[in-house]
Structures are given as C-alpha cells and as structure tokens.
Amino acid sequence: MRNVLIFLAILAALCLPAVAQNRLQVGERAPAFATESIDGNQFDLAQAQGKVVLVTFWSTRCAICQSEIPKLNEMSARLKGKNVELIALSMEPASRINLFLKKHPFDFRVISDSFEVVLKYADRDKEGNLDMGFPAYFLIDSRGNIAFKDSGWDHTQQLETKINSLLAN
C-alpha cells in the first residue's frame, strides 16, 4: 500500500506542470469574473451574456498599450450604440491608472487591481508561471465563448472586423 501511495505522489508531481498550463482556446467558455470599474460601476461577465465583450489587459508601463489606446478609442466610437461591451483591465492600482488616464484617456470601462482576472485568462508555461503579452485581447461572443484571443501591437482592425461579424450573427 505504501508503494502505491509513493507511486501516486510521484505521478502527481510529474503531472503537476502539465495541469498548471492554462491555455484558453477559441471556442471555450470565457472564465467568469465580476469586479468594479474605477468609476465605481459594477461589471459581471455573466450579466453581459447576449453582448459581444472585448476584454483587453494592459499596463500603464507598456509602450505598445499606450500606442493602442487612441486606435481602440476610435474603434469604440465606431461601435457606440451596438451590443458591445469594451473592458480594459490592468493589474495596477486605481491611483496609478487615474493619473495615467488624465494624459491618455481610455473610452472603455477601466478596471484596476485585476490580478485575479489575469490569473484566469493568462496562459501558463510548464512551470506554472504566467505567460501573457500586453496588450492582450480576448473577444467573447454573445454566448460567453472566446471568439478571438491574441496579444501585441495593432489588432484594432482585426478586432473590429471580428466584433462586427459576431454582431451580424
């Protein structure tokens, strides 16, 4: 019996890195989260069911993120009045984000202190370490499934095309 327990413990230890990998795939259910935006309004992904939701993870220290904000704001203006929710999440505190937003306004709902949400969405490497590029984009369809996932520079045209396609269906 003791040998069986040792074998199971070794097997579990060997499998742990594989289990620790989190790779959200297009078509999978988006991880649920509920939080408060920096303007004090509540957001609950479950309550956004029926809408297309763009979740972007960004940082005030990310030069690419800063260059994307005006393009995302333009996209937001073109999507105004449509059944779309645009959410910008940062792991940074509200005090830092509020200072940043004075110079770089963001026309999305902005959420600070979102490390718990990042843990749900970020990929993980074999050792279980977070692996997420910034800005990161997760487009969630009206049924709550991930329709698009990517990170990096200049995805606004692709995002807007996908959003409009999801809205048309």
pLDDT value, residue 148: 95
pLDDT value, residue 22: 58
CA 23 – CA 94 distance, rounded (Å): 28
- Say if residue 129's pLDDT is above 90: no
| pLDDT band, residue 18 (cuts 50/70/90) | very low
Output the pTM of the full model. Answer: 0.83
Domains belonging to the chain, first-starting first, are: 2-168 (3.40.30.10)
CA 78 to chain centre: 21
Structural contact between residues 53 and 155, judged by C-beta atoms closer than 8 angstroms = no
Nearest CA to 154 out of 61, 62, 67 is that of 67
Structural contact between residues 68 and 156, judged by C-beta atoms closer than 8 angstroms = yes
Where do we find the tokens 């991930």? 146
- Say if residue 14's pLDDT is above 50: no
